[in-house]
Amino acid sequence: MRKYARIAAFAARDALAYMPAFLARNVFFVVIIFVFWSLWKVIFANRPAVAGLTLVQTLWYLTFTEAMELSRPRVMSMIQEEVRDGTLAVTLTRPWSYPAFHFWRSFGEGAVRVVPVLVVGFGLAALFVGPLPGYLRALPFGLLLILLGLAVGIMWTLAIGLLAFWLEEVSPVYWIIQKAIFILGGLFLPIDFFPPGLAAVARWLPFSFSAYWPAITMVNFSWTSFFTGLAGAAVWLAVLAGTVALLFAAGRRRVHAQGG
C-alpha cells in the first residue's frame, strides 16, 4: 500500500501545481449555481419547502454534487490513450497493479481538486441564499462520504476505461453513464424530488453514492443517511472493484493474444 499511497501523493502534488488551470476550466460552475438559484427561487417562492428541503438546502445540495462531479478525473481517457498509442505495453511491465495505479492516481488528484471547488461553492451558496443550518455538525461526516463518493465515481469511470481493450473509443459509453448520474444519481435534483417508485430505485444505484448520499448528508444530516451512504459506498466499491478486476483480466489476455 505504500507505493499506492506515494502514487496518490504525487498525483495530488501535480493537481496542486495545475490548480489555476483546473479552476479556469470550470468557471462555468458559477454559472450553474446562478442559473439554478434563479430557477429554484421561483419554484420556492410560494412554498417553504419541497419534499422536506428548503431553498437554502437545495442550493447547497447542488454545490456538493457539482463539486464531486467536476473534481472527478476522467481516468477512462488516460486508459483509452494508452491502449491506442501502445504505451500500455510499457505500463503493464511496471511493478504495480494497472487498475490500482490508475485508481489511486485519480483519487489523489480528485481529493485535492474537490477542496477548492467546495470552497467556491460554499461562497456562492452563502452569497445567494445564506448559511446552511447545521453545517458544522454535518461537515466531517459529509466530507467522508464525499471522498467515498469520489472513489465510487472513479471506480466506475475506471471500468469504462477498461472497455477500451475492446472498443478503443469509450467516450460514448462514458457520456451515457454520465447522464445516468445526472438524473438517477441526483446530481441536479435531489432524489427526494422524484416520484416515489423512481426514487426508491435510484437511491440504491451506484450513481446515488457518487452524488446524492454525500450531498443529502451535508444538507439534511441524520445518522440514518450517513450510515446508509457509508454502507452503500462500501458495497458498491467492492462490487465495482470486482468488475474492474474481471475486465482487466479479460482485457490483458486480449492484449497478449494480439501481441500488444
For residues 77 and 109, the answer to whether their CB atoms sit within 8 Å is no
State how far Cα 3 lies from the chain centre: 24
Question: Torsion-angle region of residue 51: left (phi > 0), alpha (psi -120 to 50) or beta?
Answer: left
For residues 125 and 29, the answer to whether their CB atoms sit within 8 Å is no
| Residue-level pLDDT at 14 | 86
The mean pLDDT value for 83-89 works out to: 76
- Percent of the chain residues topping a pLDDT of 70: 97
Beta bridge partners of 50: 53
pLDDT tens for 43-80 read: 888 888 888 899 999 999 999 999 888 888 888 888 88
The least confident of 3-12, 20-29, 99-108, 187-196 is: 20-29
- Encode the chain in three state secondary structure: CHHHHHHHHHHHHHHHHCHHHHHHHCCHHHHHHHHHHHHHHHHCCCCCCECCECHHHHHHHHHHHHHHHHHCCCHHHHHHHHHHHCCHHHHCCCCCCHHHHHHHHHHHHHHHHHHHHHHHHHHHHHHHHCCCCCHHHHHHHHHHHHHHHHHHHHHHHHHHHHCHHHHCCCHHHHHHHHHHHHHCCCCCCCHHHCCHHHHHHHCCCHHHHHCHHHHHHHHCCCHHHHHHHHHHHHHHHHHHHHHHHHHHHHHHHHHHHHCC
The span from the CA of 162 to the CA of 159, in Å, is 5
For residues 173 and 160, the answer to whether their CB atoms sit within 8 Å is yes
pLDDT surpassing 60 at residue 256: no
The span from the CA of 5 to the CA of 3, in Å, is 5
| Residue-level pLDDT at 255 | 67
State how far Cα 97 lies from the chain centre: 22
State how far Cα 112 lies from the chain centre: 13
pTM above 0.75, yes or no: yes
The span from the CA of 10 to the CA of 249, in Å, is 27
- Percent of the chain residues topping a pLDDT of 90: 40
The mean pLDDT value for 16-44 works out to: 85
